[in-house]
Amino acid sequence: MSAADPNNPRPDLWFPRDGMELRAVDSGPEDGEAIVLLHGFPQRTSSWDRVAPLLHAAGYRTLALDQRGYCESARPRGRRAYRLPELVGDVIALLDSAGLADAHVVGHDWGAAVAWGVAGAYPNRVRTLTAVSVPHPAAFLTAMVRSDQLLRSWYIGFFQLPLIPELMLSSPGPRPEKALAGMGMTPEMIQRYRDEMVATGAIPGGLGWYRALPFAAPGAATAKVRVPTTFVWSDRDTALGRGGAERTREHVDADYRFVEMNGVSHWIPDERPAELADAIVDRARSAPGVGTGG
């Protein structure tokens, strides 16, 4: 569960938040501009293992956050503990603990939803945003009624059920593997899921993010993002369709780039790390007053 750079080993960064202890893998050049990396479901910080070294080579420091519900010492009970403002607050606490006034923020899957939230609520703390796979929340909601996104998102309703999703996702049989393989996961990624999510008991916490959705504040997803933004989407993503991807531009009031990866599944950081790293670095270097990271 590490995105650590073997050439620049450092202890993980632990920091307090609401009586919990959260962890971030801190690696790369210590004097480089910081990039916060936010994973999605059902993965942890290792989802950035192929991307982070490329960012380090470009001169950037990375902080890969093991998010609440996943990190063993930060698994609160109750669905409300996983509302978006709490997840956003974890990222701000990370920046504060690392002594960073701001950072480039990158998120994949649910991590992208958190990244959108951080950029929308705290634009002064975000130099640039690179969101991967998940569109702006307002674009996603529009796509739910104007495209096939509602059908693609059937599992969100299923995850609201008590206990059954945990049992299915933790089953030792072939059912979870078949579902994940259908979304594009390789056998290696599925084994990582077994080791990092199932064996460590992270499944209930990860599901907590979905179960907090009914408690979302009305209108919270409508705010435009006003920081330089790149949105990266792949055309073989079975969970997220083109409808939300193409509407995201409407919700960014700043320099915006849309990067479409053809023939790629949902798992962009694992499948196309070099292209994703290029998109992140290009975005980071494009920001006014931002250098090269080295």
The DSSP secondary-structure symbol of 35 reads E
Q: Which residues pair with 66 in a beta bridge?
A: 23
H and E: helices and strands count for the chain? 13, 8
The reply to whether 70 belongs to the active site is no
Out of 49, 104, 266, 270, the active site residue is 266
13-17 β-sheet, strand order: 13-17, 20-27, 61-66, 34-38, 103-108, 126-132, 229-234, 256-261
Q: Per-residue b/e over 144-166, b at no fewer than 16 CB within 10 Å? A: beebebeebeeeeeebeeeeebb
Q: 3-state SS string over 121-165? A: HCHHHEEEEEEECCCCHHHHHHHHHHCCHHHHCHHHHHCCCCCHH
User: For residue 178, which phi and psi values (nearest 5 degrees)?
Assistant: -65, -40
The reply to whether 210 belongs to the active site is yes
Q: Do strands 20-27 and 61-66 pair parallel, antiparallel, or not at all (unpaired)?
A: antiparallel
The reply to whether 266 belongs to the active site is yes
Q: How many CB atoms lie within 10 A of CB 9?
A: 10
Out of 49, 60, 210, 270, the active site residue is 210
Out of 109, 193, 251, 270, the active site residue is 109
Q: Which one, of 107, 35, 40, lies nearest residue 70 by Cα?
A: 40
Q: Which residues are catalytic?
A: 109, 210, 266
